[in-house]
Amino acid sequence: MIPLVDLKAQYAAYKEELDNAIKDVIDSAHFIGGPYCKKFETEFASFCGGGSVALCGNGTDALYLTIRELLGQGNKKDEIITVANTFIATSETMTLAGYHPVFVDINPDTYLIDPLNIEKAINDRTRAIVPVHLYGQMAEMDWINEIAEDHNLPVIEDAAQAHGALYRGKGPGQWGDAACFSFYPGKNLGAWGDAGAIFTKDVNLAEKIKMRANHGRHEKYIHQFEGMNSRLDEIQAAVLSVKLKYLRLWNEKRNVLAAQYSALFSGEKSIITPHVNPHCSHVYYVYVIQLPDRNRVLKGLQKRGIDAGVHYPVPLHHQPAYISQKHFDYSLPITEKIADQILSLPLYPELKETDVQIIVDNVINELIRET
């Protein structure tokens, strides 16, 4: 069995350090907003390039809190531009905040939002742009920022898959108004449960988001406004603080393994390997190939104990949740084509090079079997 991600192997490699951190939390009996939360907040802000961090309960809340704080409550008519090849958290947070998601098509090489399509989608109801940094690679943020500045629109970066990624030497949150991170366990930097954070250069924005995530308050019984309960717990902060020290090393290992995948697939004309923008530092949250008859290959791999997957098989504008909403009734040809052909292969720092060879051999054998 080769899993898509192996959290057991990661724990085994850092067991003593992780166990000690958890024991510290238990011994202190300080489970919410304690010293590990403060420690991780400072460390993650430094990792992101210097700025301010607001911690929260999960990546979905990170998006929702940022939208609400930057834009206010929507009127259910105003719009936010994003992509459809992403997890539904990207769009559902917009709807929850009172805005219509407007999906635009993607670059066929990188699968990231196409700035040309952003420009075409802007109208007098547009209130923000949310680029999604997908699979570990950042969108073309200089071009996106130029468009946003021309139209006086905030940019909220969905960085749930981009921990440590760079574009022209700068990471998420160094370009837009804020970057929203998920620390779901399988991410490059993953907690042992749900966890999230917002990174921004704007200290005032970070403080307001912290208050909104904590019932609109700084002091225990003084509430400046109505907020919500989205506080990161101390155990998750302790786990993240330990893991953060190794994140750059883990990302380097992911790049080594991705390069091995690409080299082994190089002679297969029917397989399209990830295209890396020369201005990007990719961190390979997943290694995604494009190939014919994806579903048959996927089933063949799974039968042989290789836990491949698809991120994401059904674009958001085709999801049952949005069928009744007429504003989702349009075509995104590149997004739709990619959704039928992409395949995510196992990739994590503990993956062995011999396992990569086995995975590649099996993918190629499945293609040969098809012909």
Structure confidence at residue 9 as a pLDDT band (50, 70, 90): very high
Q: End-to-end CA distance of the chain, in Å? A: 26
How many angstroms separate the Cα of 165 from the Cα of each of 162, 174, 180, 189?
5, 11, 13, 12
| Measured CA distances, 31 to 61, 65, 231, 233, 242 (Å) | 20, 22, 11, 6, 17
Whether residue 307 contacts residue 5, with contact meaning beta carbons closer than 8 Å, is answered with no
Q: What pLDDT is recorded for position 261?
A: 98
How does pLDDT run across 99-142, given as a tens digit for each residue?
999 999 999 999 999 999 999 999 999 999 999 999 999 999 99
What is the spatial distance between Cα 191 and Cα 203, in angstroms, rounded to a whole number? 25
Mean pLDDT for all residues in the chain: 97
Lowest-confidence segment of 89-93, 153-157, 304-308, 367-371 by average pLDDT: 367-371
Average pLDDT over residues 307-331: 89
What confidence category does residue 269 fall into, taking pLDDT thresholds of 50, 70 and 90? Answer: very high
CB 188 within 8 A of CB 171: no
Q: How confident is the model at residue 323 (pLDDT cuts 50, 70, 90)?
A: confident
Q: In which band, very low, low, confident or very high, does the pLDDT at 196 lie, cut at 50, 70 and 90?
A: very high
Residue 216 pLDDT = 97
Q: What is the pLDDT of residues 38-63, one digit of tens each?
A: 999 999 999 999 999 999 999 999 99
Give the model confidence (pLDDT) of 58-106 as tens digits.
Answer: 999 999 999 999 999 999 999 999 999 999 999 999 999 999 999 999 9
Q: How far apart are CA 92 and CA 100, in angstroms?
A: 9
Nearest to 4 by CA among 317, 320, 289, 346: 346
Query: What is the model's pLDDT at position 370?
Result: 58
pLDDT, residue 368, reads 86
Burial of 20 (0-12, 13-18, 19+ CB in 10 A): exposed
The yes-or-no verdict on residue 178 having pLDDT over 80 is: yes
Q: What angle do CA 346, 87, 269 make, to 5 degrees?
A: 45
Report the percentage of the chain scoring pLDDT > 70. 99
pTM (two decimals): 0.97
Q: Is the peptide bond before 312 cis (omega within 30 degrees of 0)?
A: yes
Question: What's the confidence (pLDDT) of residue 369?
Answer: 79
DSSP string computed for 7-29: HHHHHHHTHHHHHHHHHHHHHHT
Residue with tokens 């011994």: 27
pLDDT value of residue 371: 56
Residue 331: the pLDDT is 86
Q: Where are the alpha helices (DSSP H) in the chain?
A: 7-13, 15-28, 35-47, 59-71, 89-96, 115-121, 141-150, 203-213, 234-244, 247-265, 294-303, 333-341, 353-370
The predicted model gives 321-327 an average pLDDT of 81
